[in-house]
Structure 1
Amino acid sequence: MQVHKNYDGDYKKDCLEFERANGLENFVGFMTAADIEKVLSIAESGNVKAYITAGITNPAIAGDEPPRFLSKTINIALVIEEGLTLGAMANAIMTATEAKTYTLLNLGYNATGTTSDGIGVFAFEGEQEWAGTATRLGIDIGRAVRKALKESLKKWEKTKDSL
């Protein structure tokens, strides 16, 4: 859901209105002030597809006092075509976060993320128990996140002054 760059609204109310206006029911989504059409990037590796929108006007480092809040963020939606346990889903979040952090640092951003990043893992319930960096699934998560985030950030860099 795209919001204005100075958004400071009632997110619960606004999301419910968005859900109703779009005929959705019990949806899961993200809010962003990044121009979704301009920065959305999708990358696939194995059974993993990463959908990422990125904008970095509020970079942060975990454990440091955050800068003043601005409205750009990194949102990651992982769609995994495997049946995962709850533990594997948590593991997938960890692996995706590591890939995000590596990508940011590798591209020269002095940040581990932004102050308002979001991540969602969408998979069927199943028997796959692990999604860490030593597993095939973890490698695919890392590759998809790194590729999509790098592409999204390149798109954002080209358009950030016009947003």
Structure 2
Amino acid sequence: MEFEHFIRPFDEPMLALSNAPHRGGLAKANGFFFMMVPRDYSGNYRRDCARFEEEHGIKNFVGFMTAADVKKVLAVSRRGSVTAYVTAGITNPAIAGDVPPPWKPGTINIALVIREGLAVGAMANAIMTATEAKTYTLLSLGYNATGTTSDGIGVFAFEGEIEWAGTATELGINIGKAVRKALAESLRKWERTRSVK
């Protein structure tokens, strides 16, 4: 099987805050990628993501991994200055605070590109708002879960003075709408991939 991936370069470097396996944390990024891996993947993710960058001729990208078919489940939604890129697979649903079920591959990855200048605290606030939107979407669609056991999230923005991105702000509202729409679409696509197997 030839894997499909998604690579999103930026026109100029952006500040990134993420829990991504490749260049996670706080960093400057030239873009991000969603890398598809086998369902039974147990490799060296640091080495494999570095090799991915080398093979694709990219550098200083933030990298996410998923066993979901990226080409089939990727969904993109834009609201105002916010664009949400989402890949969803939910074979391992979990509820925060509960003991998770036996591990199976499946990940919800959310990458938010915000074309505004944000303080680092606002980027953390954006992660919170996006996570609330993710959980609401899952519950409203009938999934008894707040996420999966291996979710990834990243926020990409310019350095600036905006301090807040919560649900009372215009930015936070746009984050919530973009995430809800993209995640719902990605989950519908993922369900279709399961029904044809």
For Structure 1 versus Structure 2, the TM-score category normalised by the shorter chain is: over 0.9
What residue number does 2:114 align with? Answer: 80
Q: 1:162: Cα distance to partner? A: 4.8
Matched, 1:35 2:46: no
The CA deviation string for residues 27-59 of structure 1, in whole angstroms up to 9 with x for no partner, is 102100000010000001111000000010000
TM-score (norm 2): 0.81
Instruction: Output the amino acid matched with 1:116.
Output: S
C-alpha distance in 2, partners of 1:128/1:162? 45
Q: 1:23: Cα distance to partner? A: 0.9
What residue number does 1:135 align with? Answer: 169
C-alpha distance in 1, partners of 2:194/2:168? 36
Instruction: Output the amino acid matched with 2:108.
Output: I
- Partner-residue secondary structure (3-state), 1:53: strand
Match of 1:101 among 116, 135, 141: 135
C-alpha distance in 1, partners of 2:142/2:102? 21
Instruction: Output the amino acid matched with 1:142.
Output: G
Matched, 1:4 2:38: yes
Show structure 2 runs of 5+ residues with no match: 1-34
**Deviates most, 18-27 or 98-107:** 18-27
What residue number does 2:187 align with? Answer: 153
Match of 2:146 among 88, 105, 112: 112
CA-based RMSD of the aligned residues comes to 0.9
C-alpha distance in 2, partners of 1:51/1:101? 16
- Partner-residue secondary structure (3-state), 2:39: coil
Comparing both structures, which one devotes a greater share of its residues to strand? 2
- Partner-residue secondary structure (3-state), 1:122: strand
Q: 1:161: Cα distance to partner? A: 4.5
C-alpha distance in 2, partners of 1:72/1:22? 24
Q: 1:25: Cα distance to partner? A: 1.0
- Partner-residue secondary structure (3-state), 1:148: helix
Q: 1:125: Cα distance to partner? A: 0.4
Comparing both structures, which one devotes a greater share of its residues to helix? 1
TM-score (norm 1): 0.98
Instruction: Output the amino acid matched with 2:91.
Output: T
Show structure 1 runs of 5+ residues with no match: none
C-alpha distance in 2, partners of 1:97/1:121? 12
Match of 2:88 among 46, 54, 66: 54
The CA deviation string for residues 121-163 of structure 1, in whole angstroms up to 9 with x for no partner, is 0000001100000000000000000000000000000112556
C-alpha distance in 1, partners of 2:169/2:160? 16
